[in-house]
Amino acid sequence: MEPSKRHKLSASARREARWGLLFLSPWLIGFLVFTLVPMVASLLFSFTDFNLLRPDEVHFVGLKNYRHLLHDPLVEQSMLVTLRFILISVPVGMLFPLLLATLLNAKRLKGKPFLRTLFYMPYIVPMISAAYIWRGFLGTTDGWLNKGLAVLGIKGPDWWNSPRWIYPALVLAGLWGVGNAMLTMLASMQGVPTELYEAAKVDGATPIHTFRHITLPMISPVLFYNLVLILIGTFQYFLLPWVIKGPNGDPGGATMFYNLYLFKTAFPYSDMGYGATLAWVLFFIILLVTLFLFGTAKYWVYYPSEEV
Amino acid sequence: MVSGKMKRFTAAALLTLFAFTLLTAYLSPFAYMTSTAFKDLHQFSRPDAPLWPAQEKSFTWEGKEYPLYHVPFEDGERILALVKKGREESLFVDPQNPEAGEIRWEGRWRTLEPVWEFSPRWENFPEAWEAIDFPRLFRNTLIIATVGMIGTLLSSIAVAYGFARFRIPGKKVLFVILIATIMLPRQVTLIPTYAFFARIGWTGTWLPLIVPHFFANAYNVFLLRQYFLTIPRELDEAAMIDGASPLRVLLSVILPLSIPAIVSVGIFHFIWAWNDYFEPYLYLATKPELQPISVGIQQFNALYSNQPHMIQATALMGLLLPVIIFFLAQRAFMRGVVITGVEK
Amino acid sequence: MRKWMVFLSVLLVLSFFLSACGSAPTATPAPTEEATEVSTPEPTEEATPEPTEEAVEPVVIRWFVGLGTGGNPEQIEAQQNVVDRFNAEHEDIQIELEIVQNDVAYDTLKTEIASGNPPDIVGPVGMRGANEFEGMWLDLSDLIESHNYDMSDYDPATVEFYRDNDGALLGIPFAVYPSFIYYNRDLFDEAGLPYPPHKYGEPYADGDPWTVEKLEEIAMKLTVDANGNDATSPDFDPENIVQFGYLTQWTDPRGQATLFGPGSFVDENGNAQIPENWRAAFHWYYDGMWSKWFIPNGPYQGSDLLAAGNPFNSGNLAMAHCHLWYTCCLGDVENWDIAATPSYNGQITSKLHADTFRILNTTEHPDEAFTVLAYLLDDAAPDLLLVYGAMPAHKSLQAAFFEGLDEKYPQGVDWQVAIDSLSYADHPSHESWMPNFAKADDRIKAFQSLYENTPDLDIDAELDKLRDDLQAIFDEVK
């Protein structure tokens, strides 16, 4: 708004703004103290050799951390691990809740509220409990999945110890985290105006056609929202394998995710300067990906009408 | 007519059957957890043991216990106690007729099937309860979650009210920034925040886990704001005309009408705090006496990694309360998820 | 509404108050104590000749516990008793006990050293813990001489263990944990095999020398699948193994490789290297896990069959090479005994773990510190070793220690094997120092998880890659 308008704010408007700011102040202060200042500090750290064990001997080292990052084999390795995992887990993390939502939205399905509650429930299970449950459930010789496969005559893979099978194992365990995505997709499907479906029926459209050309575009904002969140989340992924396989990226470096390397650098190795560098690089990558996604949104995300 | 009805019925039945099969598979790890939590430690190192909690039947002979096996003979199968193992032949005793002495059987005992009986081990739970000091973990978690909940409710209500009802210059921009913080990766603020808390001596205390919640949170603000927007403005204005201050309006008009949203936020926070692991680990790894349940379970299981029954018993103890709360308040809970997820 | 505001401000004030309380004890007290201590000593020494009571300020020796064992309640009590007894008997020296829990002890000690407030004596501490403070330990050679300290009751090999490359003696043996073969008699009986030899230098029952190759041979006979075929049988099914022959249990690659002789990933110039005997060792382990099957590989080690990580205790592992401290965790397997470590290339190496008390070279009172050290090693040793659960390095105290173990394991264990194993300690130690220790150690553990979990690996290529990565990690701190 132009400055002249600001002067014209009446006394009552100014009073209202003051009250409003007072109410916003907890967040404004919090944003400053816990977000903005740490972000800037993190950037400053990345140009120093700040070590938590020697907090009084901090030196400015220029771009040394960034140069080291370019030649650090673990950065390349852990970034590749992260990208590989994204390629496997993000599609599953989008399609599985979409399947569940479509199923729960089916007209003829019985026991919907019951099914919806129980399909959602694993989302509530604490990550720690889920990690131990899945670690046992996918055990090589003793896990129930492999015992079930053995009944079918299939030799189950070595889920947690094979560098190749650990990603599918993590994706399976991640299926318990789709509750929110499922629920939002379902709610969005239920919000699609029935007239659209009736019109399609009159035109003789097949269910697949209807799904493809009515349901998907209509729920695309929710799909977009979930895709953004899941991508950002997966770039930061490391806790579940950390709890299950320990802090060394076992087996054979397959779970040395970028974020795990970041955590180890900053905390166990106490190298906060380099850790901050890794964090800023991650932030920058996530920012680029998110901006790219927003850039593509206009080609596939359908907003019925811009209402605020 | 009838065939159409029949067809529809079959379709519904098939669809429902599919959904329930999928659900069973989806939840089967819970069955694994429950069954394992009731097992005896000795059952795990036996590759031929059944899935359910079981104990090997044994027979006491001359003061020592020997396991029972199904042993095939030419005239049929007998249940015998294995007293001396050998690679190609072993010695057995017949529990029905121990006086007859040792029976030599040629063959490999490893190919025999042992006799298992159903035997859930309830003691696992009191043992796990004590081993992880559940009352202490529970108390710590409760304090962290409750104080944090009070903090996030106080601050988020205030901020949501500010966004919902006041004309403030630059409000739109601020709101976009608020929502954008949802997408900010935590790592970018984590290191300086930790260094700061370490500097002021807050590491090893609950404060880093509690104090930030007194400064509102984007999800909660958004959810509450959406709810406040549905409350007719006329109600505020009527109160204002009666001379009520904005704070009075919030307390006596908005809040009483927003109980469901407030309950949602409260439950969200409580379950989130109960499940939160990383930051409690980061700040309290050196203080076992202050740790909440998630860290307590992880540290216990890292030490007792070779006791699957204990691990699953503690996993069960960790998930019970949030799951019960969820079932009790599922409608408020899922409504909240839909508001924050769909309307944004 | 005011109530709300009041409540909020009270909460905030309270939280800041709490924070102040929480931070104060950790941040402030140490320097003040130090100030009083440091200012006093010099006058004390001058004053000692004159027997004026008031003027005699005792020298305070700070004993830091936490880098190893020593933090559980019964240990804390025993340590305090030992300190109280000393303090009652001595007027000129007083011990001040400082106990920190193990998980924070490293950082606490680092901070104390960095802030110029170090303790005098640290321990019990093992080799690994000592490595983190490389270059900070006092050479005891001169003090041993000036105090006429009697070293004759110690096994010379265990003394050598504490000598660094420059010949300085950085510790006197206190608690030792030799390693040897644990074996399960029942599994040998079932297979009809004689037990491994108990005396070093003796052959196996069939007359063949007790070597790694011989161990492999009997271990394969002790590796059995679900159908009862052993690993030497053409019908053997490696997918369904129910019993294993051998494992070098609960150690990292450096520990595993030491069965083939001592070595180090660091050469004299501080560069990364793979010793030749270790290269052979890693091939042996890898083949044992993935083509001869007598060593459980990663998946089997983690399976419930082998008690999910406590293999020998599951009763499904015939032999395990491990340390004396493993007597902690053998509650479930019944009929076990111990035997000699086999030789490789004519050389026997039984890797050693040893805990002792060390003196930091920053101490202002080396003589008084040594008096306290000698007290801990001799007079206080029986009480301390008991609560630490450790084998005494003093030969004269060993018999009583093993009597205690016999009560715990009544099947009759030949403890002489443990005593004899001390003579074959590894030097350099498998836990010796490396540059950029934490990161290098992680890289080595990653190599372990790779070879234990991956079939069809090119071990030589992986070892070369390990060497290159270690070189890069070492270079980071050059």
What's the pLDDT score for residue C470? 95
DSSP B182: G
- pLDDT bucket at C415, cuts 50 / 70 / 90: very high
Same domain for B163 and B209? yes
Chain A residues with CB-CB distance to C469 below 8 A? 73
Q: Is residue C123 part of a domain?
A: yes
CB A50 within 8 A of CB A266: no
Note whether C231 and C187 are same-domain residues. yes
Interchain contact B87–C (C-beta under 8 A): yes
SS3 of C102, please? helix
- Contact (Cβ atoms closer than 8 angstroms) between residue A138 and residue C303: no
Do the domain assignments include residue B123? no
Do residues C295 and C430 share a domain? yes
C289/C380 same-domain check: no
CB pairs under 8 A between A and B: 265
The CATH number that applies at residue C254 is 3.40.190.10
How high is the pLDDT of residue B303? 67
**Residue B104 — φ and ψ, nearest 5°?**
-85, 130
CB contact under 8 A, C11 and B150: yes
Give A21's contacts in chain B (Cβ within 8 Å). 162, 168
Look at residue B121 and tell me if it is in a domain. no
What distance lies between CA A161 and its chain's CA centroid? Answer: 25
Look at residue C35 and tell me whether its pLDDT is greater than 80: no
pLDDT in tens, A161-211: 888 899 999 999 999 999 999 999 999 999 888 898 889 888 888 888 999
Q: Give yes or no for B150 touching C (CB within 8 A).
A: yes
Residue at C414 is within a domain: no
Q: Are A140 and C303 within 8 A, CB to CB?
A: yes
Q: Do C454 and C313 have their domain in common?
A: yes
CA distance C323 to chain B (A): 19
Nearest CA in chain C to B201: C23
| Contact between chains at A141 and C453 (C-beta distance less than 8 A) | no
Q: Letter for the amino acid at A273? A: G
Predicted confidence band of residue A307 (pLDDT cuts 50, 70, 90): very low
Q: Is residue B48 part of a domain?
A: no
- Block residue for tokens 């500090």: A41
Residues paired with C163 in a beta bridge: C169
Whether C1 sits inside 8 A of B247 (CB atoms) is: yes
Within-domain flag for B165: yes
Residues C140 and C210 in one domain: no
Q: Same domain, yes or no, for C290 and C431?
A: yes
Q: Are residues C116 and C227 in the same domain?
A: no
Phi, psi (rounded to 5 degrees) for B34: -65, -45
Name every chain C residue with its beta carbon within 8 A of the beta carbon of A256. 446
The domain of B216 spans 132-342
In a domain, C76, yes or no: yes
Closest CA to A137 of A172, A165, A90: A172
* Average pLDDT for A100-126: 94
Q: Kindly state whether residues B152 and B263 are assigned to the same domain.
A: yes
Q: What is the pLDDT of residue C55?
A: 52
Q: Which of B138, B187, B300 to mutate to test the interface with A (most CBs of A within 10 A)?
A: B187
Per residue in A233-264, pLDDT tens? 999 999 999 999 888 888 888 999 999 999 99
Task: Quick: pLDDT tens for C352-410.
Answer: 998 999 999 989 999 999 999 999 999 999 889 878 878 999 988 898 889 888 988 89
Judged by CB atoms closer than 8 Å, whether chains meet at A23 and B246 is answered as yes
Are both B106 and B185 inside the same structural domain? no
Q: Rounded to the nearest 5 degrees, what angle is found at the Cα of C21, between the Cα atoms of C16 and C27?
A: 115
User: How many angstroms away from the CA of C203 is the closest CA of chain B?
Assistant: 25
What number of C-beta contacts closer than 8 Å exist between A and C? 62
Mark whether C198 and C222 lie in a shared domain.
yes
Boundaries of domain holding C229: 179-351+424-475
Superfamily holding A64-300? MetI-like (1.10.3720.10)
Structure confidence at residue A53 (pLDDT): 64
Residue B53 lies in a domain: no
Reply yes or no: is the peptide bond before residue C296 cis, omega within 30 of 0: no
Helices C73-89 & C381-388 angle (0-180, nearest 10): 170
Q: Are residues B234 and B140 in the same domain?
A: yes
3-state secondary structure of C331: coil
C276-314, pLDDT tens digit by residue? 999 999 999 999 999 999 999 988 988 888 887 789 999
Report DSSP letters for A259-289, one per residue.
Answer: HHHHHHHHTTT-BHHHHHHHHHHHHHHHHHH
Burial C274-289 (b: 16+ CB within 10 A, else e): bbebbbbbbebbbebb
The rounded distance, in Å, linking the Cα atoms of B62 and B68 is 15
Is any Cβ of chain C less than 8 angstroms from the Cβ of A49?
no
* C422 DSSP 8-state letter: G
C99 with C240, same domain: the answer is no
Rounded CA Rg of chain C: 26
pLDDT at C433: 85
Q: Do A162 and C453 touch (CB under 8 A)?
A: yes
B265/B169 same-domain check: yes
AA letter at B13: A
Domain match, C346 and C211 both: yes
Q: Given this model, what pLDDT does residue B332 score?
A: 84
* pLDDT confidence bin for C142, thresholds 50/70/90: very high
Q: Estimate to the nearest angstrom the gap between the alpha carbon of B299 and the chain centroid.
A: 16
Domain count, chain B: 3
CA A304 → CA A200, A210, A215, A217, distances in Å? 18, 18, 13, 10
Q: Are residues C299 and C436 in the same domain?
A: yes
Q: Which one of B68, B85, B114 terminates a domain?
A: B114
Structure-model confidence comparison of residues C248 and B343, the more confident one: C248
Is B126 within a domain? no
Which residues, 6+ apart, have CB-to-CB distance to C424 below 8 Å? C157, C200, C341, C348, C349, C350
> Hey, are the CB atoms on A163 and C454 less than 8 Å from each other?
yes
In this prediction, residue B69 carries a pLDDT of 94
Would C360 be classed as within a structural domain?
yes
Q: Where are the domains of chain A?
A: 4-10+16-45, 64-300
Instruction: Give residue-wise pLDDT tens across range C157-195.
Output: 888 888 887 889 999 999 999 999 999 999 999 999 999
Tell me the pLDDT of chain C averaged across its residues: 85
| Region C231-243 average pLDDT | 94
> How many domains is chain C built from?
2
B274 and B211: one domain?
A: yes
Q: At residue A298, does pLDDT exceed 80?
A: yes
Q: Which tokens belong to B236?
A: 């505020």
Distance from CA of B216 to the nearest CA of A (A): 5
* B110:C226 CB<8 A: yes
Same domain, B103 and B200: no
Query: Within this chain, do residues B321 and B192 fall inside the same structural domain, yes or no?
Result: yes
Domain annotation covers residue B124: no
The answer to whether residue C406 sits within a structural domain is no
A10 touches chain C (CB under 8 A): no
| Burial degree of B178 (CB within 10 A; 0-12, 13-18, 19+) | buried
Task: For residue C145, tell me if it sits in a domain.
Answer: yes
Query: Residues C259, C336: one domain?
Result: yes
Q: Is residue C418 part of a domain?
A: no
B117 alpha-carbon distance from chain centroid: 30
Q: How confident is the prediction along chain B (344 residues), in pLDDT tens digits per residue? A: 567 788 888 989 999 999 999 999 999 999 999 999 999 988 888 877 888 999 889 999 888 889 999 999 988 899 999 999 999 999 999 999 888 889 999 999 999 999 999 999 999 999 999 888 899 999 999 999 999 999 999 999 999 999 999 999 999 999 999 989 988 888 899 999 988 888 788 877 999 999 999 999 999 999 999 999 999 999 988 998 888 899 999 999 999 999 989 999 999 999 999 999 999 988 887 677 899 999 989 878 876 777 889 999 999 999 999 999 999 988 888 888 888 777 65
| pTM of the shown model | 0.83
Whole-complex ipTM: 0.90
Identify the chains in contact with A, defined as 3+ C-beta pairs within 8 A: B, C
Per-residue pLDDT, A165: 93
Mean pLDDT for all residues in chain A: 90
Nearest C-alpha in C relative to B303? C309
Residue C12, domain member (yes or no): no
Cβ distance B189 to A42 less than 8 Å, yes or no, reads: yes
Query: If you measure CA to CA, which chain B residue comes closest to C226?
Result: B110
Q: Are C157 and C178 in contact (CB under 8 A)?
A: no
Interface of B with C in 275-314 (CB under 8 A): 285-286, 288, 305-308
| Nearest chain B alpha carbon to C106 | B286
Token pair 């809040």 in the structure block, residue: B255
